[in-house]
């Protein structure tokens, strides 16, 4: 510990701001140029074809908002977002699983690599992080999870929770720049949990948490995790009015179909794979999903037998 | 943590990409810089203020740091000397680097001030325990703020030898401070 920990903390927070600002700007600029060009072309084509309506225009604005909230561009890698993977690996980071043992793990995720693990120094708790393809996995006492990088790019935080005989615990992966997670209950005090090496862990015993916020250095950003330990319920059905964003290159071949005796053609089927995101990966009761396939259809002139 | 074992030069060169690296650099040199200022201004609050400005300036220019002849700690003490000189000229502690970086004012507690005050004299006592040639070199360079060529002339040796002695002395002092 330093003699002036307040000064150390402020210097590190300032360094975090410096590390985020220029790189984020440069990356966004690099990522935005082709994306904007593509978006303009696609928008022009879609508007000209009359296939997408005003609601769908709102979809793209929504997508942009979501990307901005996480603060990382779409091409940000694990190392770009999580500083713990940029530091050298030490003997203390070894989880004890050798490369030739990895295939024996029954529920191993695609690309999951235990040999590249990092141990998070947390008093009294063994916490490890390790990479997987397009994601990061973690293990804490009584729980584990593998949030996708895409979720971290967009939201900056992946929250998980577990229950055991000792009570609840709340934990998660956070991206660079977030230095504190604040847990609050409607009728309880605020619990401030410091972030260490892109991770936070709170042993809540039987305390309830209604809201989780996280603080970037110099900023405050709130999540919408009201009622974090709800009763287990069925996942909600997909919202047909929910927004979606077409993935470039995912347009299907033209589709023809008949409904109520009338022929239709869907020239472009915009599709987004369902995003199945479990908070922490082990908490099926908290699973939420968004995303669905949707087609813009237009009537076809009758040219013969409909199929 | 791995950064605590990395050399100073690596910490400075990665500080702008990896905030924790600068945290390790600060922890490693905090005592020495605080002691340096404390020996000159006598007041823990002012020493802490000067230390904050010194490390802010170091962070601000860390991306420009290139190891040449001097070790990183000599570069840091160069910043410390300039900070002190500027502050003396202006009659108040310089805050340009902190303002430039948008650093929030650091409110120091009485306990923190007590910890700084405990440093008073510690570093100077440790300097007295160094081997004579290292003691003379570090005193001439760090305390008397003389340049290497001048010291080398007095000591009848090359600048490289003086630099080596200062570097070894600072390493020894660091180890001894860490043991306390």
> Can you tell me which residue has the tokens 């603080």?
A215
The most distant pair of C-alpha atoms in chain B lies apart, rounded to whole Å, by 48
CB contact under 8 A, A15 and B15: yes
Count of CB atoms within 10 A of residue A48's CB? Answer: 8
pLDDT on residue A106: 60
DSSP label at residue B109: P
The model's confidence at residue B59, banded by pLDDT at 50, 70 and 90, is very high
CB contact under 8 A, B18 and A8: no
**B42/B79 Cα distance (integer angstroms):** 19
Element (H, E) at A257: strand A255-259
Across residues B30-56, what is the average pLDDT? 89
pLDDT on residue A116: 93
pLDDT on residue B20: 87
**B42/B98 Cα distance (integer angstroms):** 22
**A105/A100 Cα distance (integer angstroms):** 10
| Closest in B22, B34, B119 to A11, CB measured | B22
Percent of chain B past pLDDT 70, that is, above it, reads 89
pLDDT on residue A233: 36
Query: Is B115 within 8 Å of chain A by CB?
Result: yes
CB contact under 8 A, B20 and A12: yes
Nearest CA in chain B to A5: B112
Dihedral (CA of A234, A240, A246, A250) sign: positive
- With a cut of 80, say whether residue B145 has pLDDT above it: no
Nearest CA in chain A to B102: A14
Torsion of CA B31, B33, B39, B43, to 10 degrees: -80
Query: Is B117 within 8 Å of chain A by CB?
Result: no
Note the helical H segments in A83-230: 149-155
The model's confidence at residue B68, banded by pLDDT at 50, 70 and 90, is low
Which residue would you say has higher pLDDT here, A23 or B144?
B144
Query: Is B34 within 8 Å of chain A by CB?
Result: yes
Structure tokens at B159: 């600048």
Q: Which residues contact A75 (CB under 8 A, 6 or more apart)?
A: A27, A31
CB contact under 8 A, A14 and B48: no
Count of CB atoms within 10 A of residue B64's CB? Answer: 8
- The answer to whether the beta carbons of residues B126 and B119 sit under 8 Å apart is no
Strand partners, A205: A168
Burial of A114 (0-12, 13-18, 19+ CB in 10 A): buried
Closest CA to B175 of B108, B105, B123: B123
Structure tokens at A175: 């991206």
pLDDT on residue A250: 39
Strand partners, A266: A255
pLDDT on residue A119: 93
Count of CB atoms within 10 A of residue A156's CB? Answer: 22
Average pLDDT per block of 10 residues along chain A, 307 residues long: 85 79 44 43 39 29 31 84 92 84 71 91 89 90 83 83 71 88 78 90 78 71 48 43 43 52 52 33 29 41 43
pLDDT on residue A165: 61
User: Phi then psi for B138, rounded to 5 degrees?
Assistant: -70, -35
Q: Report the alpha-carbon angle A4-A9-A13, nearest 5.
A: 150
Per CB-CB distance under 8 Å, the chain A contacts of B20 are 12, 83, 87, 197
Highest mean pLDDT among A51-60, A288-297, B44-53, B135-144: B44-53
Query: Reduced to 3 states, what is the DSSP secondary structure of residue A170?
Result: strand
- The answer to whether the beta carbons of residues A279 and A159 sit under 8 Å apart is yes
pLDDT on residue A245: 44
- The answer to whether the beta carbons of residues A120 and A172 sit under 8 Å apart is no
pLDDT digits (tens, 9 = 90+) for B14-25: 887 788 889 999
Which of B13, B19, B35 to mutate against chain A (most A CBs within 10 Å)? Answer: B19
pLDDT on residue B50: 93
- The answer to whether the beta carbons of residues A256 and A304 sit under 8 Å apart is no
pLDDT digits (tens, 9 = 90+) for B101-123: 888 777 778 888 888 888 766 66
């Amino acid at each position: 510990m330093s003699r002036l920990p307040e000064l150390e903390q402020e210097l590190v927070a300032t360094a975090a701001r410096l590390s985020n600002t220029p790189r984020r700007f440069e990356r966004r600029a690099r990522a935005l140029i082709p994306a904007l060009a593509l978006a303009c072309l696609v928008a022009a084509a879609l508007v000209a074809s009359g296939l997408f309506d005003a609601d769908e225009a709102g979809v793209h604005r929504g997508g942009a908002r979501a990307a901005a909230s996480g603060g990382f561009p779409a091409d940000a890698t694990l190392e770009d977002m999580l500083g713990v993977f940029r530091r050298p690996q030490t003997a203390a980071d070894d989880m004890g699983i050798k490369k030739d043992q990895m295939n024996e793990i029954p529920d191993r995720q695609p690309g999951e690599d235990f040999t590249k693990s990092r141990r998070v120094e947390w008093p009294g708790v063994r916490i490890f992080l390790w990479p997987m393809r397009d994601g990061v996995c973690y293990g804490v006492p009584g729980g584990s999870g593998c949030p996708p990088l895409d979720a971290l790019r967009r939201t900056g935080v992946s929250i998980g929770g577990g229950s055991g005989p000792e009570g609840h615990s709340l934990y998660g992966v956070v991206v660079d720049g977030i230095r504190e997670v604040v847990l609050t209950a409607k009728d309880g005090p605020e619990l401030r949990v410091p972030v260490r090496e892109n991770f936070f862990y709170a042993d809540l015993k039987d305390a309830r948490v209604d809201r989780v916020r996280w603080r970037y250095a110099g900023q405050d950003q709130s999540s919408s995790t009201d009622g974090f330990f709800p009763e287990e319920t069925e996942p909600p059905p997909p919202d047909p009015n929910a927004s979606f964003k077409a993935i470039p290159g995912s347009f299907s071949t033209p589709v023809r179909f008949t409904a109520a005796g009338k022929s239709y053609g869907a020239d472009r089927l915009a599709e987004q794979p369902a995003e199945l995101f479990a908070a922490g990966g082990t908490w099926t009761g908290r699973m939420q999903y968004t995303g669905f396939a949707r087609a813009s259809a237009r009537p076809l002139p009758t040219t013969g037998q409909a199929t | 943590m791995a950064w605590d074992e990395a050399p100073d030069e690596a910490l400075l060169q990665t500080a702008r990409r990896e905030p924790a690296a600068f945290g390790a650099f600060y922890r490693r040199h905090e005592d020495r810089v605080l002691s340096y200022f404390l020996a000159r201004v006598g007041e823990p609050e002012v020493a802490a203020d000067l230390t904050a400005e010194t490390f802010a300036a170091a962070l601000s220019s860390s991306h420009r740091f290139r190891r040449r002849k001097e070790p990183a700690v000599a570069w840091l003490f160069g910043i410390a000397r300039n900070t002190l000189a500027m502050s003396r000229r202006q009659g108040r502690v310089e805050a340009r680097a902190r303002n430039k970086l948008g650093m929030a004012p650091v409110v120091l507690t009485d306990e923190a001030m007590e910890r700084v005050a405990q440093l008073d004299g510690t570093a100077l006592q440790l300097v007295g325990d160094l081997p004579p040639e290292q003691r003379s070199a570090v005193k001439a360079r760090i305390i008397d703020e003389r340049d290497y060529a001048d010291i080398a002339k007095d000591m009848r040796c090359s600048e490289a030898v003086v630099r080596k002695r200062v570097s070894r002395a600072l390493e020894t002092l660091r180890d001894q401070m860490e043991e306390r």
